[in-house]
């Protein structure tokens, strides 16, 4: 990877994160208002549309060489040579409920999760920026990120326990000393990358599995910070970068944490 390309992508993703942050912060309407269906047939809420529009405008203004795969608009062919995998607002339910845990997730790749080369997650209420480059490490606000060594007696897991959770989820929760869940997959993954969580576990019914847009950036952040992301059968996670791609996953900062379940 030549240096000019590397820094151009970082600058672009940083600018996109800031553009979304400004758009969301300045939006004065009803964040929860339904403005239409998204590409998957679910409802698009106003805050999602505001954030997505900010990204598309920014790309157009700079004639960026990227197509877009977004949770709201689906695949947007801009004649680009690579793909921007976008979740405009990850954690929309938190955002419209006034819970300050939501983010924009941006990742650049080609055709599979394993090809993601650059990733950025911007915590919109706090302004924290998580960034990673494949083979180059991960950072939070410019400081290097490392995952935490696993100590079972001090364990803190993020586990999805909603109505679509599979029974195994409750067993995983019981194995931890403490359990949290942020309700935004990108931030849960950043929690693993930064050493806050020892594990992020989601195993749900098919309709509630994570989309590729939810995790594309966070997976690279975990891996570049020294952790691992696998499926519930402990196989290294890889998915096509398509609108239909969904998955359960387990992200750990230390592979020893995988020993808590068979």
- CB-neighbour burial class of residue 61 (10 A; exposed 0-12, middle 13-18, buried 19+): exposed
Q: How far apart are the first and last CA of the chain?
A: 39
Classify domain 3-144 at the CATH topology level.
Fructose-1,6-Bisphosphatase; Chain A, domain 1 (3.30.540)
Query: SS3 of 229, please?
Result: strand
The pLDDT score that the predictor gives to residue 217 is: 98
Number of residues that this document lists for the chain: 262
**Res. 4: pLDDT tops 50:** no
Q: Where are the alpha helices (DSSP H) in 86-236?
A: 92-97, 168-175, 185-193, 212-224
247 touches 215 (CB < 8 A): yes
Tell me: the pLDDT tens digits for 177-200?
Answer: 999 999 999 999 999 999 999 999
Q: Where are the alpha helices (DSSP H) in the chain?
A: 3-26, 46-61, 92-97, 168-175, 185-193, 212-224
Instruction: Report in angstroms the alpha-carbon separations of 3 from 8, 9, 110.
Output: 8, 10, 19
CA angle 228, 234, 238 (to 5 degrees): 65
Q: Dihedral sign, CA of 133, 135, 139, 145?
A: positive
How confident is residue 158, by pLDDT bands cut at 50, 70 and 90? very high
What class, spelled out in words, does domain 152-260 have in CATH? alpha beta
Instruction: Report in angstroms the alpha-carbon separations of 76 from 29, 68, 70, 178, 219.
Output: 26, 5, 8, 41, 23
How confident is residue 41, by pLDDT bands cut at 50, 70 and 90? confident
Q: List the chain domain ranges.
A: 3-144, 152-260
Structure tokens at 161: 């326990």
> Which of the residue ranges 3-12, 115-124, 141-150, 160-169 would you say has the lowest mean pLDDT?
3-12
């Amino acid at each position: 990877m030549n240096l000019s390309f590397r820094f151009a992508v970082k600058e672009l993703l940083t600018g996109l994160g800031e553009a979304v942050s400004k758009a969301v912060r300045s939006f004065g309407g009803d964040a929860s208002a339904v403005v239409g269906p998204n590409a998957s047939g679910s409802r698009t809420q106003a805050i999602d549309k505001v954030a997505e529009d900010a990204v598309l405008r920014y790309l157009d203004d700079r004639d960026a060489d990227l197509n877009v795969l977004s949770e709201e608009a689906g695949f947007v062919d801009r004649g680009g040579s690579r793909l921007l995998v976008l979740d405009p607002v990850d954690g929309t339910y938190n955002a419209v409920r006034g819970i300050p845990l939501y983010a924009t997730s941006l990742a650049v790749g080609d055709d599979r999760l394993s090809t993601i080369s650059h990733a950025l997650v911007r915590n919109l209420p706090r302004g924290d920026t998580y960034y990673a480059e494949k083979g180059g490490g991960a950072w939070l606000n410019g400081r290097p990120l490392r995952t935490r060594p696993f100590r079972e007696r001090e364990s803190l897991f993020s586990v999805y326990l909603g109505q679509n959770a599979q029974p195994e989820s409750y067993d995983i929760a019981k194995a931890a000393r403490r359990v949290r869940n942020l309700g935004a997959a990108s931030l849960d993954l950043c929690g693993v990358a930064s050493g806050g969580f020892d594990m992020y576990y989601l195993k749900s019914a098919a309709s509630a599995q994570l989309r590729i847009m939810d995790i594309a950036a966070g997976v690279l952040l975990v891996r570049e910070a020294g952790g691992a992301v696998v499926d519930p059968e402990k196989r290294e996670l890889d998915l096509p970068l398509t609108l239909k791609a969904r998955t359960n996953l387990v992200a750990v900062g230390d592979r020893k944490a995988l020993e808590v379940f068979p």
